[in-house]
Each structure stands twice: as C-alpha cells, then as structure tokens.
Amino acid sequence: MNDFVEDYLGLTKASDIVLSLKQSPIKKIVRAYFDRDLKEERESRIPNHELFNNLFGTILLYLENGDVIGFDIMDIKDSIVCWYEVLHGILYEKDPYMRELHRYMDHDDPIYSTKDNWAHMIGEKITSIKVLVYDKGKIQRYFDDSFQNAIIFETAKGDMVLSNCLLGFGSPFPLTRKSEIPQEIWDKATVIEL
C-alpha cells in the first residue's frame, strides 16, 4: 500500500508534471467512468449536458507533446493526486484506476457535455496553476501532500477547477470554474502557486 501511495503525488510534489502542463497546450480533456456511474447520474437531477463535469472518475488531460496527465482523488491523503498516464507518447506502466475497466468521455461529448464549456482550455497552454490546501476536518495529516483539495488551471482564455468534495456539487470530483469556489473556502485555504 505504501508504494501505491508514494507513486501518486499531490501536484505540489510533481514538478515534472507541472512543467509538462505549462509547456504544452491541452489537446483534449477526458473523463474515465463506469457505466453504472453514468446510469446513476442520468437518473439524478443533473441535466445530461452537465454529466461530464459531475461524474466521479479520473480526469485525463491530453497534451500536444504526447503526455497524458491523470488526476483523481486519494482518500488516504484527502487530496487530489496526479500521475503520468502517458509519458512522451508511451503508456505509463502504473495504472491507479484500472484503465481497461473504464469507458471514456471527451470534454465535448455531444450528449453529456456542452461543446463550448471547456473550449477555452483546448489548444491553450496553462499559464497559472494554483493548489488550494484545505482541511475538510481530518484529524491527522499523514503526508506532506495531503489536503490538496482543489487545483485551478488558468489559460489566457479562462480557467478550470478540479475539486475534491469542496463545492457542494453532486459529484465528489467535479470540474467547474474558479468563480464557483465559495469565499469561505478561499478564506480558509492555503493557496500555493506553482
């Protein structure tokens, strides 16, 4: 278990991933999901065109340099963690979410997303990355990269936020915008700029 935990880092501990994210434009944004999760969400009150943002599952950022960066929640760290899914065009050997068991949905899915919702991220380099370190009430901090509960990516055209159970949406891992982060969270969080 310890090796598994150490293989997936909070973004503040992954300077190589931060560099890759800032040097290469985003080609597409993909969400991994299980059929049962999609079925459950379709039966909820969330409109179909918002399901991409609200499904629970790994988020993959495909970069024009051939890298694919994965993001997901790690409960033991109470944090969003990251890893290379593909490094320099080669599938990385580590697989935290069992890729062969999942289906994949693109950011511009014609049914479960809105075509222009994340268009401001596509073809753009990330110019700013902020990590919000926010303790949601855990008693013990076991890792240096614990409590990294929101990541804000900004481009010249807009922003995108990955959040770990912070924003009161139906999903524990929603994609949203910086303007949706409540002031209370900004006030209590430590903001780390990468």
> Would you kindly state where each structural domain of the chain is located, as residue ranges?
2-193
What percent of the chain stands above pLDDT 70?
91
- Per-residue pLDDT for 62 more than 70? yes
- Per-residue pLDDT for 145 more than 90? yes
**If you average pLDDT over residues 47-53, what whole number do you get?**
90
- Per-residue pLDDT for 53 more than 80? yes
Please provide the average confidence, as pLDDT, over all residues in the chain. 89
Q: Which amino acid is at 41?
A: E
**Listed residue (144, 146, 124, 145) closest to 135, CA to CA:** 146
Report the distance separating Cα 28 and Cα 44, nearest Å.
Answer: 27
Contact 194, 179 (CB under 8 A): no
Report the distance separating Cα 153 and Cα 194, nearest Å.
Answer: 10
| Contact partners, residue 133, CB within 8 Å, separation at least 6 | 147, 148, 149, 189, 190, 191, 192
Contact 84, 68 (CB under 8 A): yes
Question: Among 34-43, 78-87, 139-148, which range has the highest average pLDDT?
Answer: 78-87
Contact 113, 105 (CB under 8 A): yes
